[in-house]
Amino acid sequence: MSSAAHDHAAPVIWPVDRQFGSARPAKLAMWIFLLSDWLSFAGLLLAYGILRANSAVWRLPGQPGLNVPFTALLTLVLAVSSVTIIRAYDAAAAGNRKGTSLWLAITALGGILFLTGQYAEWVGILHPGLLKEGLVFGQSAYASTFYVITGFHGLHVMAGCLYLLVTLARNLRHAVGANEVELLGLFWHFVDFVWNIVFVVVYLIPTPGGP
Amino acid sequence: MSSDAEAGGTSGHRMTSTQTALVLAVLVVLTALEVGVAMLFRGPSGLVTTLLFALAIAQAAYFALVAMGLRAETRTMKKLVALPLGIAAFYSLVLIAEALWRAVWRVTG
């Protein structure tokens, strides 16, 4: 690799700021975006909590339960992809373009696997999904909040996959900088961060005296 | 650089392979604990919920500090992130208190 290409891939060191250290404006902007996005998720989760706490019967008779073991596997897939994006950043910072592409591709694959799993859960691939089993949007607060929250998160995973694939395509043409991979990593970690909370709140919290 | 790099994930600080493996191990263990508590623990639902929230908060904090590299950032940056996260948590506490008050009010008339 030429030294110019190596310089392009190496992280840019900004002068240290008294308030924000060496964080670049782009990184600050990404954090601010992620925090505003977090407030959207927090609003949805709080609405879920209010509806669930005030409902006499949360899951109506005949409505299917959620498949916790399957979703736990999807959670692990996202956790692994969070680690692979760290490796992608490491490769980019080392100027290893091939390694960056490989780890970005593996991370994107993790995201696609998660989305496929979510499709299988909603619609069904080998077995009927929740929609065919009777969990219909608009039928109850249980059904509607489930689809809105997991769907909103799914859109984030989809956006993350597109972001990953675009960065991968750009890296295949010419090495992308470690700073760019770092921003992508922040977004991808956020997707996993939020999923862990959604998984606990929507899938794991038990209903007192109910299913 | 990677061998002596400061831990911090994708926050401009590189991680060694061992540190990366540790991140994965912690995430897997916490997820397994959450699923284990939800599916196997047969205690009162209030206790199960409290345990699950504690595990979720631990996992979220680990994610933000280690994987997202917040622990290597300045104090101002940490405060900038902690404030919106805290607002949501504070509001949920307000809602829980309000729900409790309404439940007590219903019982006592």
Verify that B50 and B26 share a domain, yes or no.
yes
Is A21 in contact with B99 (Cβ distance < 8 A)?
A: no
Domain shared by B102 and B61, yes or no: no
For residue B35, the tally of other CB atoms under 10 A from its CB is 23
Task: Respond yes or no on whether ipTM tops 0.85.
Answer: no
B55 and B33 in a single domain? The answer is yes
Same domain, B69 and B79: no
Task: Say if residue B45 is in the same domain as residue B94.
Answer: no
B80 plus B54 within the same structural domain:
no
Structural domain boundaries enclosing B101? 74-109
CB A142 within 8 A of CB A56: no
What's the burial of A115, exposed, middle or buried (CB within 10 Å: 0-12/13-18/19+)?
Answer: middle
- Do B50 and B94 fall within a single domain? no
pLDDT in tens, B10-65: 556 678 888 899 999 999 999 999 999 999 888 888 889 889 989 999 999 998 89
Taking only the tens place, the pLDDT of each residue in A103-142 is 999 999 999 999 999 999 999 998 899 999 999 999 999 9
Same domain, B16 and B65: yes
| Chain A residues near residue B87 by CB distance under 8 angstroms | 39, 42
Cα-Cα-Cα-Cα dihedral sign, residues A9, A14, A16, A20: negative
**Counting Cβ atoms within 10 Å, is residue A99 exposed (0-12), middle (13-18) or buried (19+)?**
middle
| B62 in the same domain as B18 | yes
Q: Return the number of other C-beta atoms located less than 10 Å from residue A100's C-beta.
A: 27
Q: Are residues B53 and B90 in the same domain?
A: no
Q: Which residues of B touch A53 (CB under 8 A)?
A: 95, 99
* Mean pLDDT (chain A, rounded): 89
Q: Where are the domains of chain A?
A: 30-204
pLDDT tier, A2 (very low <50, low <70, confident <90, very high otherwise): very low
Measure in Å the smallest separation between the Cα of B31 and chain A Cα atoms.
7
Tell me the pLDDT tens digit for each residue of A43-75: 999 999 889 888 888 999 889 999 999 999 999
Q: Give the whole-number percent of chain A exceeding pLDDT 90.
A: 73
Number of domains in chain B: 2
Inter-chain CB proximity A35 and B11 less than 8 Å: no
B93, B41: one domain? no
Min Cα separation A149/chain B (Å): 16
Contact A39 B52 (CB under 8 A): no
**B54 and B18 within one domain:** yes
Cβ contact (<8 Å) for A197 and B68? no
| Fold of the domain spanning A30-204 | Four Helix Bundle (Hemerythrin (Met), subunit A) (1.20.120)
**DSSP calls for A7-76:** HHHSPPPPPPBTTTBT--HHHHHHHHHHHHHHHHHHHHHHHHHHHHHH-S-SS-TTPPPP-HHHHHHHHH
What is chain B written as a DSSP string? -GGGPPS-TTSS----HHHHHHHHHHHHHHHHHHHHHHHH--S-HHHHHHHHHHHHHHHHHHIIIIIS-GGGS-HHHHHHHHHHHHHHHHHHHHHHHHHHHHHHHHHH-
Q: Mutating which of A193, A194, A201, A202 best tests the B interface, going by the most B Cβ atoms within 10 A? A: A193
Global pTM reads 0.86
Q: Which residues of B touch A69 (CB under 8 A)?
A: 35
